[in-house]
Amino acid sequence: MLAAAWFLSYCDRVNLSVAAVSMQAQFGWAEATKGWVMASVFVGYIASQLAGGVIALRIGAVRAVGLGVLGFSFATLATPAAATHSLGTLVALRITLGAFEGLVIPATYSLVGAWAAPNERARLIAIVASGATLGAPGGLALSGVLDDQFGWPAVFHAFGAIGLVWVFFWICIAGKSGEGAVADRAGAKPAGDGATLPVLRMLSHPALWAAAAAKFGLNWIVYVFIAWLPSYYSAVQNTEIAASAMLSALPWLSMTLMLHISAMRADRMLTSGMDPTFVRKAMQAVGIGGGIVFLLLAPLAASPLQAALCTCAATGFLAFCFSGADAAMLDMALRRRGVIGGFANALGNFPGIVAIPLIGWSIDLTGSYSAGFVSSAAVGALSLFVWLRYGVARRVFE
């Protein structure tokens, strides 16, 4: 169910990337305007991340997940009406959608950390994160078909309705388990005991900022792909909207496969007695390093096939990061994993606000996607340096 929640969250995040091509033609948006519309969801998403971790502590992670999916599903359903009303209404609704999505991720960290022993966390993260990596291609591919066959409003009506169905089953299934079912195997209490958060001590620890920096670099590259690959294939490779959406989906299938391969490798390394910090740093280095190489090769692609191969290889390597810094955030605490995950995701998702419109601006300025790919590689390299220098995979908070 958590994987399905992440699936829907990413579908509702990327469907605008496909629908925006038709919406741009209807409403007369410039590329930069389209970029800001796509980026607006991350304003709410970032703003609610830390709050999401606190809410998971206060009301329980199970309720926080359900509330988040209910909210972003209603917002998705209302998107066509908001877009028709005005650009400002659309942006405000996308911010609201992002705010509800921001509740789901930190609550998930609380649940996953409670369920899994250290040498199982990478695999459990891989299962849940598969929802995101399948949600990206699923959302892109299905959005392309819906847009082509029924028009762009159908994209949002379909995914919003599916989200409400998910909420019904979540109430039926998760309501029976209760918060007591997620007590930590290492002895931590379930979320919701209302303990005071040592915010200043947490913010002063460099490991927390290193995790946020690692998430920042990974997400910069990921969000550039999510938001701009359909437009890239359409403008540079001269493909139709439906074909652009299908080609843009392939890299996320590659990432899904490599999520599980890298997670099994990381957990085997831990089981063999290797130092957890070394394992998490090695996974992050392989992920960002390999991703950068193929990200730089992508602008040189001379055909849609070559472009697809480069982007598939890039996202395949990036999957290693989920067994790196992402898993390390679960190693850093017991009860406050959701707060750590929320903080790191809050800072780590600023690329959604910065990178997406920045790429649109660079396209308007240069007429090329190359500058955006090169700058993304530079950001990824810097984030890796910070993580290797300051990151840890041991308990530093309660």
Rounded distance, CA 31 to CA 88, Å?
17
Tokens at 275, concatenated: 């130092």
Tokens at 365, concatenated: 């300025």
C-alpha distances (whole Å) from 76 to each of 16, 62, 100, 322 are 10, 22, 11, 27
Residue-level pLDDT at 189: 45
Q: Does 211 score more than 80 pLDDT?
A: yes
Residue-level pLDDT at 389: 94
Average of per-residue pLDDT across 226-247: 69
Rounded distance, CA 91 to CA 353, Å?
12
Average of per-residue pLDDT across 89-100: 92
* DSSP state letters, 96-132: HHHHHHHHHHHHHHHHHHHH--GGGHHHHHHHHHHHH
Of the candidates 262, 254, 236, which has an alpha carbon nearest to the alpha carbon of residue 314?
A: 254
pLDDT digits 0-9 by tens, 185-207: 444 444 444 445 566 677 778 88
Residue-level pLDDT at 190: 43
HSE of 307, CA atoms in CB hemisphere, 13 A: 24
Residue-level pLDDT at 7: 92
Q: Does 93 score more than 80 pLDDT?
A: yes
Average of per-residue pLDDT across 211-238: 79
Residue-level pLDDT at 188: 42
Mean pLDDT for the chain overall: 82
Q: Does 319 score more than 90 pLDDT?
A: yes
Residue-level pLDDT at 198: 65
Average of per-residue pLDDT across 84-105: 89
pLDDT grade, residue 109 (50/70/90)? confident
Tokens at 318, concatenated: 């990036």
* DSSP state letters, 56-91: HHHH-HHHHHHHHHHHHHHHHHTHHHHHHH-HHHHH
Residue-level pLDDT at 334: 65
pLDDT grade, residue 157 (50/70/90)? very high
**Which amino acid type is present at position 296?**
L
Residue-level pLDDT at 20: 82
pLDDT digits 0-9 by tens, 323-345: 998 888 888 876 677 777 777 87
Residue-level pLDDT at 226: 67
Residue-level pLDDT at 183: 44
Burial of 92 (0-12, 13-18, 19+ CB in 10 A): middle
Average of per-residue pLDDT across 112-128: 82
Contact 319, 292 (CB under 8 A): no
Average of per-residue pLDDT across 63-90: 90
